[in-house]
Structure 1
Amino acid sequence: MKASDLFVAQLKEEGVEYIFGLPGEENLDLLESLRNSNIKLIVTRHEQAAAFMAAAYGRLTGKPGVCFSTLGPGATNLVTGVAQAQLTGAPFISISGQKALIDNWQGRFQLVDVVRMMEPLCKKAVSITDPGMIPTVIRNAFKHAEAERPGAVHIELPEDVAEEETDAVVQKKSEIKIPFPDPEIVKKAAALICEAKNPLIIVSSGANRKAIAKELEDFARSTGIYLVHTQMGKGVVPDDCVYSLFATGIHARDYVNCGIEGADLIITVGYDIVEYPPYLWNRELDKQIINIDFVESVPDRYFNPEIEIIGNIASSIRELAANIPEKREFPIFEHTRLFIDEKISAPARKSYPPLPQTVVMNVRKVLGREDIITLDNGIYKLWFSRLYKTYTPNTVLLDNALATMGAGLASGIAAKLLHPERRVLAICGDGGFMMNCQELETAVRYGIHVVVLILNDNAFGFIKWKQKKMHFEDFALDYGNPDFSLFAESFGAAGIKVKEGDDLAEVLEKAFSLNKVTVIECPIDYSVNYETFSIELSNFTCKF
């Protein structure tokens, strides 16, 4: 069998449905083998976007997303997406081509040591030097990518290896079952919870899975214990559950801290310090901590759990609930929920351009409980994480780990590809959109009817707010933009501008009714950033 055919056959054995990428000379054998397979190929216009799509696929399915590039500049273009997958805990495989290992007549042309470049960014990076290695290397890569905590693995396939013949055969995929928690540890944790005056749960990205979501909501309802979502944990327990304290937002004191400050015991579920630093909720080192996760935690000065329940998280939560004998009331958290709900539901003043609060409310109005938003990175991400009520796991796809710009559109395309039956809205700032705007053509070419909402302030709005907060002069953060509606039309997509007097909800409904790739350009008034994040949140007091 030809080595590249074996490579693709092993990918198929691993359950690969899609592969995202941009071909080059050095992976034409792989491309031909993909042509003869039933794996669906999505050719993007930039390797970074392919990596973002694969990372989004991994987060939405729990299975490794796969992307590929050529050697040299193709591989270097993958780097940001690889880092994003690793830091967000997305199962992910990237593949790059490479010059021939033997008789490389082109010398050092385009030659970069890709494996050494990738090693610090992912769980494992390896080059295939013999075609007989292919099944084992790929099997091992998928096991590493899927193992808790999931992340990125890189494979390099040199062109002369890809074209060789081999007698190696596909290795069968094995099934791994995550062990149940230690019953004695569960009992100790339950006793600590019962002794605590105000226990509170922090739900993070590692818990954003359907099986865990059900158990966690049942746990909250049976024990009366409230919970806070991190940005990447949004939707694990629906926000209309009376025990949800909604979500964290800015990396500073926020409304939700009224509850966190009153807790004497924090129960972290699927928590990773990369996403929501423990300093933000345990800076006084006065919280007892129980950590529930698939794997042991990485110690931090502010995160040193007394007890860790390690094993299948859903089973851990179910067993923990069974060891807590009675439901309790927690007035401090009941008041906190009412306080936050009042704050995030308050109507914003009418203006043109609209305020970010108005944008959030209108998006929530037109999307159903199962519909998906994918957020690029900018100040609007804070507004959505704080104000956008969420009801279903993985319906708010954002990156609060690497927090890279440029991923919102690519993530939206991947989400719509996987869920054509749902409304999918990619929400981008003008800065982030322009970083990978060429992927509009990808969406149009494949008929992936994502709707894109561009919030346009003709500036790097997040950095402008921070610049003002630090009392620096307004400098170097403004720029110009194209007419985004005409820009979209030039790709064959629909383009809509939000004008003064328009109802944003109606504009969004119209965009979804077109059933084609649609870009909405909406100007935004960020004057409230400073008054909210720098003044109000620095001075508010909890009233209970």
Structure 2
Amino acid sequence: MTDQKPQTIKASDLFVKALEAEGVEQIFAVPGEENLDLVESLRTSSIDLILTRHEQGAGFMAATYGRLTGKPGVCMATLGPGATNLATPAAYAHLGGFPLIMITGQKPIKTSKQGQFQIIDIVSLFEPICKMSKQIVHGNAIPALVREAFRLAGEERPGAVLLELPEDIAEECCDVPVIAPHTRYYAEAGDAVIADAVDLIKKAKMPLVLLGAGANRKDARSAISDFIDTTGIPFFVTQMGKGVVDERSELFLGTAALSDNDYLHCAIDRSDLIINFGHDVVEKPPFFMEAGGKKVIHVNYKSAQVDQVYFPQVEVVGDLASSVKKLRDTLDDTLDFDISYFKIIKAEVEKHLAEGVDDSRFPVTPQRFVADTRKAMGDGDIIALDNGIYKLWYARNYKAYEPNTVLLDNALATMGAGLPSAMAAAFLYSERRVMAICGDGGFMMNSQELETAIRLKLNLVVTVLNDSSYGMIRWKQTASGFEDWGLEFGNPDFVKYAESYGATGHRIEAADDLIPTFEAAFKAGGVHVIDLPVDYSENQKVLIDELAAKACLL
């Protein structure tokens, strides 16, 4: 019997085979010359290379792919400036809990012919905003590093991972096989802690359930809905927890879009127990805890990160759906809650949110454009929000009916992500209506991705809320007592701008035009940009003056 030499394979080919083994179907990318070996390996692979017009577009699309599928999305960029342009998407995924793999190139590391041209320490730069940031220094290390990258990116709490593949490593010969992924299961919470949590629930008189972003990441809807329906405990949500349970429910109290002093907080303040499914402190606090105040049960995949506003008394750590089911199964029929006050607050919230939904003023008010958006979108249709003051209006006023149908970022809260995020949703779900909702400032940060959307033949409506300023900061500027100064800008003609890319442009000229324009755009298909002039004068009246004057009913 003769010894056989291990079969050799080019490192870039091995990298692509490792990606294929992980089930990768697309890579969103702006490649550079340092990625060319990998690009050539992708050419003959089963993976589609989807070019974007900026690395941010690639990163946001990949992160949203991960957010919606639960599988890490993959993006690629070159060294230096290409890699640094992925820093914001990396932070977006890191804080938001979205599984993301970033592949960056690098000059040869064994020999140098260009000195330090374009070379910065990308690996160290990304370490604070990634779960792992590694340079690949030998081709034979590729299978293990790729497998570990995908494990870390997808494992709770999900996030970003960076792998740097230098040119000379990409062209090496390797003699190792890929490492196939395997199914992993999250541990279940122990009976003792379930008993502790059940004891707190039984002792409570006015409990509430809080749903956070973690409840949107995995399929926990059925278990949570069953828990709420069985116990009769009212629930509220964080911005990133919208849609986990159908918000048309009689037990839904509202969204904690503000940290304090909203109508919803009257109910939260009166509650003696918060049962917290899937929230962590990365998202803006939905309520402030006080020592000796209400009790909190933390139910999540990981233990609580304790800080000054969050220090739960009981932590149920393990698979979320399993934990919720065990809590429900352990509770008996002797529950005795008083939710009469919560019903009063719900009625007050509904009355407050109904104000202005038929307002005919032009430019259009937030209450009207949010209400008309909801009328145009079906149960499973998706809105993707950029960042601005309108995000608060949508979080408070727009009811979500299904998980992950309101895509917003209340973690990094970056501008520029709305359009690429909507593009990823439209790419994944061609049968659904998808709408990007962007302020004029955030839209222009990545508006070049309209070309990508058209090239991909996406069906997408982009609504640009036009007030010719950085409206959120301008509002806070005047609300803080400063002069209204320095935050206005000019805009292009958005209709002509859309048409220059090959999209269809629409300009809203009356409030009653909005729904017919939405319907016409969705019916026509393709990419549509709607220029919607908005009037934010309601911000002060509704979000400041009215809330300051409210009284929590006895």
TM-score range normalised by the length of the shorter chain: over 0.9
Query: Which of residues 323, 339, 343 in structure 2 aligns to 1:334?
Result: 343
Confirm or deny that 1:343 pairs with 2:355.
Answer: no
Give the match for residue 323 of structure 1. 330
Give the match for residue 399 of structure 2. 389
Indicate the SS of the match to 1:41.
strand
Confirm or deny that 1:113 pairs with 2:112.
Answer: no
Give the match for residue 45 of structure 2. 37
Task: Judge conservation of contact 2:70–2:218 (CA < 8 Å) in 1.
Answer: no
Give the match for residue 28 of structure 2. 20
Query: Which of residues 353, 371, 374 in structure 2 aligns to 1:361?
Result: 371
Task: Judge conservation of contact 2:77–2:104 (CA < 8 Å) in 1.
Answer: yes
User: 1:19 Cα deviation (Å)?
Assistant: 1.0
Q: Relative to structure 2, which stretch is displaced further, 165-174 or 329-338?
A: 329-338
Q: Relative to structure 2, which stretch is displaced further, 340-349 or 106-115?
A: 340-349
CA shift digits 1:204-239 (9 cap, x unpaired): 000114631111111011001111110000000111
Distance 1:430 1:285 in 2: 45
User: 1:513 Cα deviation (Å)?
Assistant: 1.3
Distance 1:457 1:203 in 2: 33
User: 1:262 Cα deviation (Å)?
Assistant: 0.9
Distance 2:131 2:547 in 1: 38
Give the match for residue 4 of structure 2. none
Indicate the SS of the match to 2:220.
helix
| 1:41-80 map, 5 Å | 41-80=49-88
User: 1:285 Cα deviation (Å)?
Assistant: 5.2
One-letter amino acid of the structure 2 residue matched with residue 367 of structure 1: M
Structure 2 residue runs of 5 or longer lacking an equivalent are 1-8
Distance 2:495 2:131 in 1: 41
Distance 1:20 1:287 in 2: 46
Confirm or deny that 1:217 pairs with 2:220.
Answer: no
Query: Which of residues 158, 168, 176 in structure 2 aligns to 1:168?
Result: 176
Give the match for residue 309 of structure 1. 316
Task: Judge conservation of contact 1:260–1:281 (CA < 8 Å) in 2.
Answer: no
Distance 2:259 2:472 in 1: 13
Give the match for residue 289 of structure 1. 296
User: 1:79 Cα deviation (Å)?
Assistant: 0.3
Distance 1:501 1:360 in 2: 12
Distance 2:388 2:423 in 1: 19
User: 1:486 Cα deviation (Å)?
Assistant: 0.5
Distance 2:218 2:188 in 1: 18
Query: Which of residues 85, 88, 91 in structure 1 aligns to 2:99?
Result: 91
Distance 2:278 2:511 in 1: 44
Confirm or deny that 1:482 pairs with 2:492.
Answer: yes
Task: Judge conservation of contact 1:261–1:281 (CA < 8 Å) in 2.
Answer: no
One-letter amino acid of the structure 1 residue matched with residue 30 of structure 2: L
Distance 1:331 1:213 in 2: 26
| 1:488-503 map, 5 Å | 488-500=498-510, 502-503=512-513
CA shift digits 1:20-46 (9 cap, x unpaired): 110100000111111111112211000
Distance 1:269 1:276 in 2: 15
Give the match for residue 159 of structure 1. 167
Confirm or deny that 1:138 pairs with 2:178.
Answer: no
Give the match for residue 182 of structure 1. 190
Distance 1:482 1:375 in 2: 21
Query: Which of residues 375, 390, 402 in structure 2 aligns to 1:380?
Result: 390
Distance 2:160 2:218 in 1: 22
Q: Relative to structure 2, which stretch is displaced further, 446-455 or 380-389?
A: 446-455
Indicate the SS of the match to 1:257.
helix
State TM-score, norm by structure 2. 0.96
Distance 1:251 1:308 in 2: 22
Distance 2:36 2:341 in 1: 62
CA shift digits 1:284-309 (9 cap, x unpaired): 65121110011111111222111111
Task: Judge conservation of contact 2:68–2:425 (CA < 8 Å) in 1.
Answer: yes
Summarize the Cα distance change of 1:204–1:92 in structure 2 as closer, same or farther, 3 Å threshold: same
Summarize the Cα distance change of 1:503–1:491 in structure 2 as closer, same or farther, 3 Å threshold: same
Give the match for residue 5 of structure 2. none
Could you list the runs of 4 or more consecutive aligned residues of structure 1 that deviate by over 6 angstroms after TM superposition? none
Distance 1:366 1:299 in 2: 41
How many aligned residue pairs are there? 543
Confirm or deny that 1:266 pairs with 2:274.
Answer: yes
User: 1:315 Cα deviation (Å)?
Assistant: 0.8
User: 1:186 Cα deviation (Å)?
Assistant: 0.6
Give the match for residue 428 of structure 1. 438
Task: Judge conservation of contact 2:205–2:338 (CA < 8 Å) in 1.
Answer: no
Query: Which of residues 155, 171, 189 in structure 2 aligns to 1:147?
Result: 155
Give the match for residue 542 of structure 2. 532
Task: Judge conservation of contact 1:47–1:74 (CA < 8 Å) in 2.
Answer: yes
Distance 1:361 1:28 in 2: 48
Task: Judge conservation of contact 1:224–1:329 (CA < 8 Å) in 2.
Answer: no
Distance 2:314 2:542 in 1: 37
Indicate the SS of the match to 2:267.
helix
Indicate the SS of the match to 1:292.
strand
Distance 1:229 1:501 in 2: 30
Confirm or deny that 1:466 pairs with 2:476.
Answer: yes
Structure 1 residue runs of 5 or longer lacking an equivalent are none
State TM-score, norm by structure 1. 0.98
Give the match for residue 446 of structure 1. 456
Query: Which of residues 508, 517, 540 in structure 2 aligns to 1:507?
Result: 517
